[in-house]
Amino acid sequence: MKGVWNGSAIECAAAEVISRKIIPSSYMEINNVGKCLVYKCYRNSEAKVLKELKPKKALHNQNSCLNIDDRVEGENLLIVVNIKKILKIELKNHTSTHKAQFVNTSNYTYAEISRQIPCIPLLDPPIVFKPVIIEK
């Protein structure tokens, strides 16, 4: 499945991230995962699942896509990776006119669209994103 709306997300054990500008940000603590490094991706960003989680269960967002080859594409992405050291960012040709930065992760990765591509109308996504209320 391809997510293109604000809030669309993927969770996986390994991912490929492509963006014109990838900036390492700060650390974030995620329940059930641990301390993770946050990356902010700007200008035509995408993330693709290369390896599924085992067991195949969302850890951070219940509406995340979890299958191999699921992807999110947006103007800006928020990437969270369960590592302590900054990943190596490679600069390669992506289109005939623009280069892009590539990152391959090999640990738990969460990617969410923070700003969708402007030419896509602000329609309701196919999955309604509702907060999960856990009662005790």
Q: Percentage of the chain surpassing pLDDT 90?
A: 46
- Say what the pLDDT of residue 126 is: 60
Evaluate whether residue 23 is within a structural domain: yes
Evaluate whether residue 125 is within a structural domain: no
Evaluate whether residue 122 is within a structural domain: no
Question: Please, is 82 exposed, middle or buried when counting C-beta atoms within 10 Å of its C-beta (0-12, 13-18, 19+)?
Answer: middle
- Say what the pLDDT of residue 2 is: 83
Evaluate whether residue 134 is within a structural domain: no
Six-digit token pair at 44? Answer: 């035509």
Evaluate whether residue 136 is within a structural domain: no
Q: Are 46 and 72 in contact (CB under 8 A)?
A: yes
Bridge partners (DSSP) of residue 14 are 51
Question: Please, is 134 exposed, middle or buried when counting C-beta atoms within 10 Å of its C-beta (0-12, 13-18, 19+)?
Answer: exposed
- Say what the pLDDT of residue 63 is: 85
Six-digit token pair at 136? Answer: 């005790």
pLDDT at 136 over 60: no
Residue 53, domain extent: 2-115
Q: Spell out the residues 6+ positions from residue 84 whose beta carbon is closer than 8 angstroms to its own.
A: 35, 37
Q: Are 104 and 50 in contact (CB under 8 A)?
A: yes
For the chain, the domain total comes to 1
Q: Bigger pLDDT: 5 or 46?
A: 46
Report pLDDT digits (tens) over 102-114. Answer: 999 999 999 999 9
Evaluate whether residue 47 is within a structural domain: yes
Report pLDDT digits (tens) over 67-91. Answer: 999 999 999 999 999 998 888 888 8
Q: Whole-model pTM?
A: 0.83
What's the Cα-to-Cα distance from 136 to each of 4, 74, 83, 133, rounded to whole Å?
Answer: 34, 36, 32, 10
pLDDT at 129 over 60: no
- As a whole number of Å, the CA-based R_g of the chain is 15
